[in-house]
Amino acid sequence: MKAQQTELQDLPPGLKRELLPKHVAVIMDGNGRWAKRQGLPRIMGHKRGVDALKDLLRCCKDWGIQALTAYAFSTENWKRPQEEVDFLMTLFQRVLRQELREMVEENVQIQFVGNLNALPRSLQEEISRSMAETKDNRSIRFTVATNYGGRQEILQACRAIAQKVQQGLIQPDEIDEAVFERHLYTAGIADPDLLIRTSGEMRLSNFLLWQMAYGEFYITETLWPDFDRVEFHRALCAYQQRERRFGAV
């Protein structure tokens, strides 16, 4: 296992290192609207969305945030026009291929969560390769939710546990939160402390339903391709003002 070799940058004014979230999740909304405002086809918004995501990953790493999770494609996104779905699948594959070397050099661990079996075979292969080549990297854990749905994730965990009960491997009264979490796609990843959603929508949209039980929400009107370090700084400042009580007084 590689040590965490990252050289942390000084934080911008107003941020306290000890209050940084350990894990940030993002719903990258507004790519289509961004493109429309520029008079461009929707797919151009997704292309610019990739640049915004790359910048955010670098920023998290520079500032010492240990995990970033991005909602790239939901189980409901298949309902989009076929050509947009095809474009997104090709984009994911191309970006993975282009960025893998840098992720290895930068000590980034990438992993994918979701029902990956339903993705195009060539994308599945690229995903497996990138996960295998970065599995020992420790500067930041970057999780991409692809063909992900929170309800589906919970259902498949239930099925897996029910099978173990049927086989006598576990007793029903042994099923607690820890056992359940081990059967989620996100097993081994700490819950997000902060979820950022761009473009003003105030919904969870089937993202990390179990994991966001105590996570803080930050909603901004900014469209995803315009979400930059200044915006992220603002989100972190707002987060650091919150008092997290986890149900206590």
- Annotated active-site positions, please? 29, 77
Which of the ranges 27-35, 61-69, 114-122, 169-177 carries the binding residues for ligand FPP, by CB under 6 A?
27-35
- State which residue, 102 or 174, has the beta carbon closest to ligand FPP: 102
Tokens coding 243: 């008092």
Are 126 and 93 spatial neighbours (Cβ–Cβ below 8 Å)?
yes
User: Taking CB positions, which residue lies at the least distance from ligand FPP?
Assistant: 32
Q: How far is CA 244 from the centre of its chain?
A: 22
- Torsions phi, psi for 210 (to 5 deg): -70, -45
| Alpha-carbon separation of residue 239 from 113, 128, 193, 202, 236 (angstroms) | 26, 34, 9, 16, 5
**Site membership for ligand FPP, residue 144 (CB under 6 A):** yes
**String marking each residue 172-201 x if it binds ligand FPP according to CB under 6 A:** ---------------------------x--
Q: How far is the CB of 219 from ligand FPP (least distance, A)?
A: 14
Sign of torsion, CA 240 242 246 248? positive
- Encoded tokens for 64: 């010492």
- Under rule CB under 6 A, residue 72 binds ligand FPP: yes
203 marked among binding-site residues: yes
- Tell me the per-residue interface mask from 101 to 140 with ligand FPP, x by CB under 6 A, - otherwise: ----------------------------------------
Q: Which one among 15, 44, 85, 95 touches ligand FPP, defined by CB under 6 A?
A: 95
**Measuring CA to CA, which residue among 70, 229, 55 is closest to residue 141?**
70
Kindly state whether residue 65 participates in binding ligand FPP, applying the rule CB under 6 A: no
User: Counting contacts by CB under 6 A, is residue 207 touching ligand FPP?
Assistant: no
Site for ligand FPP in 36-55 (CB under 6 A): 46, 49-50, 53
Residue type, 58: R
Cα distance between residue 60 and residue 128, in whole Å: 24
Helical (H) or strand (E) element with 196: strand 194-197
Helices and strands, counts by H and E, the chain:
7, 6
Q: Does residue 205 bind ligand FPP (CB under 6 A)? A: no
Distance, in Å, from the CA atom of 185 to the CA atom of 136, rounded to the nearest integer, reads 19
Comparison of 36 and 183: residue with beta carbon closer to ligand FPP: 36
- Kindly list the residues in this chain that would bind ligand FPP in the complex (CB under 6 A): 28-33, 46, 49-50, 53, 70, 72, 77, 92, 95-96, 144, 199
Binding site for Mg(2+), by residue number, is 29, 216
